[in-house]
Amino acid sequence: MLTLRSLLSDLKDINANLQTEETTAEKVTVELVAADEDERATQKAAPALSGLAKQSEEQTRRQQMEALYETVEGLQKVLPEWRNRYLVRDGSHARFAEVNPANYKTVQNVHFYLLSDTLLVTTKKKNIISGKSRMVLDKCWSLADVAVVDMKDSIEVSNAFKVMRHPDMFIYRSESLEEKRSFLGAFKRFTDELMLQKRQAVESAKARQKLTIPAADPEPFSPTRSDTGDRDTEKRSGRPTKDDLTANDIKWLMELADELDVLIAHRDFDHAVSLIEQARHTLSKANAETPRVSVIRSSVEERTNRLAQLVSLDLANPVASKTQVQMNIDKLLRLGMGDQARDFFLTARTAIIRHRIRLIRFDGDVAVYISDLAEIVFRLIRSTCDWYGGSFRDTTMASGFMKWVNQELQNFGTIFRRQVFDSKQNFTVIADCLQHTLHHCKQLRDLGLDVTFVLDEAFHDDIVKSIKEHSKQCENAIVAAVEADKFAVIKPDSPFLVGREDEFADITANVSQSVYELYSVFMEFGADVSVLMSISLYSKIVNCLTSFFAMYIRKLVEIFGGDWIYRQRSTILVDAAFVVDDLLPKVAGQLAHRFERPIPELEDMREKLKHSITAMQTKFITQIREKLLKDKYNFPVVDYSNNGGILDTAKPSEHIMRLIEELNTLQGALDPTLPRKAILTSIVDGIFTFMNDPSCWQNARGPRRLGFQGVQQLILDIHFFLRICEPLVSEETNSNANIVCEKGLRTFFSQNKELKAALKTGDWYDKRVDDVMALISSEFPHLISIK
């Protein structure tokens, strides 16, 4: 009974559960039906809702762009409005800072605006008058031209990233790591979406292209078709239909385009180049250009050109290493684009050189600027030569490189000429700039590339013009030095030589200040033109030096006739002799050593100048003789007519003593390096030659009158003069003196025929001369010292 009751109870529970599930199923069924009806209603309304959403989105984008054009000053001029352009990321609330790549110092605060095709960089400028800030466009780049690269944090800068647009690179940093990650993430997501869209567009275009490709022959080989039929078909179509490619080759080549697209997208350029080389090898097996071979070949070449373009962009990367550059060149060479690789490589190197030149700071020192310029240009040419030689081993490529080197040297020459020659720099600066240039140019010789002759040819006319102008300045300085010279000997302790002893160590003669200044002119000119000692400038440099010597001596000759004392005239003669006999040979020797050849022009000039010095000495002798005969011993007017007796204590006359005293003064004033004895001997010869002149023995009133005392006084004067000036008495002078004495005696006897007293004998004259010499010889130490 109990068992039955238990079974009935279980049956009741099962029935209740079944009813509950049925009710739930009905409810679910009703809900599903209702949901299905709602979904159908939604689908019916979807087009309308989608159109409204799209219209709302376009309106929002248009409003954002209008606001951006109103906010950023100068944007309208650089980036005209376009209806498909929209704002992707608003950068007004995120502030970044531009950093100087050289010292990582902040340049300015900027904001980034990411558009659908453009990256904008703006900065705020403050109006000085109103004090209000405005947003100004700083940079505008196409997204296809820039790359954003993250940078690791360092001691100098943190939260930084690089924006590269060939050939420039800019560094920016954010205030926080989150802002940098946000910007980089947004940029990457959007650029990836753009690449995906482009890839899909390319694949769609390829799919449409495949639909338009003529179908291949469904029966490439059939035993029932004869060769005659094939030839008939080829004749009808005008193109061959058999290419001898296997089915596997055709399949692989047809799939190659997609594989190359994937490899290019993933930048697996090495694999892509290998596949292209394999494809070209496979296509070379085709013995006929069938339609499918033409299509495949066109497809491969299209990918080849695209790959070459991307590799070329990598090749033009200014921060690429030598290994990366050579790898990229190797890829282009394998693709059969050697000329393109060379042009891209050299163009990129040119851009790098121009960029580095723009970074050189000019602080006003032209020599320092040219040194930095030469270092950059020649160092980059050297590295380019090294990289070029390791990449392009074909000797036919060498001419292209040399043409590029010549273009870079011409550009360097243009900058050099503008900064140095056109700015009218003094010759010392020009010489320094040329010296720096040649110094940095030497590094090319290590690679067997000597371009010195190119620079010589480029600067030849400018250098010649500069040398001519500098030579004119030196000649003016020489003339001014001679005109200002007092011709006083510069002593070793002179203030003029203080601190300059080493500079003028080669000057050992007793010369005046003008010689020291002439020496300085030669030293400065030699130092300036030392870097220009090329055989092409030989004639110009030698002509300048000869003109310096000629100018100095000519100026001395001009002023020598002035009113100078004996010591000044002596100094002038010493100056001329030192310049011609000492300084000129030294300059000629140094120049001959530098040019490795004798300098006949300077030797010829020396001979001419020696004649000038001889003429100066002759003029000096004539001037002194005339001065002595006029002021000290005017023989025609000296009175020897006294008829009185002559005393046994008679002395030489006052006139002859003045003459002897003046000769003693002259001997003391002349420098020991001069031919003093020869000069005084010539003066004495001239005096006695003049005394024999008929004008001295005959005047308008008749013959000269000589008295008893006068004629003996004349003979005593001549005897004393010949004794005290004995070292200066030549045979000619002695002969002339005897003639004067004979003329005097004859004249006396002709005028005094009835002579009652006898004249003094020679012994008496000798005794009187000896007595006088013993008394007054100490008064004439310079004449007595002559041997």
In a domain, 764, yes or no: yes
- The span from the CA of 731 to the CA of 621, in Å, is 19
Burial bucket for residue 95 (CB in 10 Å: 0-12, 13-18, 19+):
middle
At 210-251, the pLDDT tens digits run 555 444 444 443 333 444 444 444 444 445 545 667 888 888
Q: What is the pLDDT of residue 13?
A: 53
Question: Looking at the structure, do residues 538 and 439 belong to the same domain, yes or no?
Answer: no
Distance of CA 771 to the CA centre of its chain: 82
In a domain, 270, yes or no: no
pTM of the full predicted structure?
Answer: 0.56
Question: Looking at the structure, do residues 195 and 138 belong to the same domain, yes or no?
Answer: yes
Q: What is the pLDDT of residue 752?
A: 84
Question: Looking at the structure, do residues 413 and 481 belong to the same domain, yes or no?
Answer: no
Q: What is the pLDDT of residue 654?
A: 93
Distance of CA 723 to the CA centre of its chain: 73
- The span from the CA of 308 to the CA of 335, in Å, is 8
pLDDT < 70: residue spans in the chain: 1-51, 127-131, 208-244, 531-535, 787
> Nearest 5°: CA angle at 392, between 388 and 398?
75
In a domain, 273, yes or no: no
Among 212, 233, 254, give the residue marking a domain's end: 212
At 96-107, the pLDDT tens digits run 999 988 888 888
Burial bucket for residue 183 (CB in 10 Å: 0-12, 13-18, 19+):
buried
Do the beta carbons of residue 620 and residue 641 sit within 8 Å?
no
* Element containing residue 603 per DSSP (H, E): helix 600-627
Which range of residues forms the domain containing residue 152? Answer: 17-212
Do the beta carbons of residue 686 and residue 735 sit within 8 Å?
no
Question: Looking at the structure, do residues 147 and 192 belong to the same domain, yes or no?
Answer: yes
Q: How many folded domains does the chain comprise?
A: 4
Q: What is the pLDDT of residue 99?
A: 92
Please confirm whether the linkage preceding 167 is cis (ω < 30° from 0). Answer: yes
Instruction: Centre a 10 Å sphere on the Cβ of residue 364 and count the other Cβ atoms it contains.
Output: 6
In a domain, 264, yes or no: no
Question: Looking at the structure, do residues 507 and 387 belong to the same domain, yes or no?
Answer: no
CATH number for position 480? 1.10.357.50
Question: Looking at the structure, do residues 69 and 194 belong to the same domain, yes or no?
Answer: yes
Question: Looking at the structure, do residues 129 and 77 belong to the same domain, yes or no?
Answer: yes
Question: Looking at the structure, do residues 30 and 128 belong to the same domain, yes or no?
Answer: yes
In a domain, 594, yes or no: yes
Q: What is the pLDDT of residue 225?
A: 40
Among 412, 428, 450, give the residue marking a domain's end: 450
CATH number for position 151? 2.30.29.30
In a domain, 561, yes or no: yes
Question: Looking at the structure, do residues 608 and 671 belong to the same domain, yes or no?
Answer: no
Q: Which residues contact 455 (CB under 8 A, 6 or more apart)?
A: 409, 413, 437, 438, 441
Do the beta carbons of residue 139 and residue 111 sit within 8 Å?
no
Question: Looking at the structure, do residues 607 and 680 belong to the same domain, yes or no?
Answer: no
In a domain, 166, yes or no: yes
Question: Looking at the structure, do residues 470 and 569 belong to the same domain, yes or no?
Answer: yes
Among 450, 471, 490, give the residue marking a domain's end: 450
Task: Please identify which residue in the block is written with the tokens 């159908």.
Answer: 40
DSSP-derived secondary structure letter, 755? -
Q: Which residues contact 536 (CB under 8 A, 6 or more apart)?
A: 456, 460
Question: Looking at the structure, do residues 406 and 541 belong to the same domain, yes or no?
Answer: no
631 half-sphere exposure, CB direction, 13 A CA radius: 9
In a domain, 172, yes or no: yes
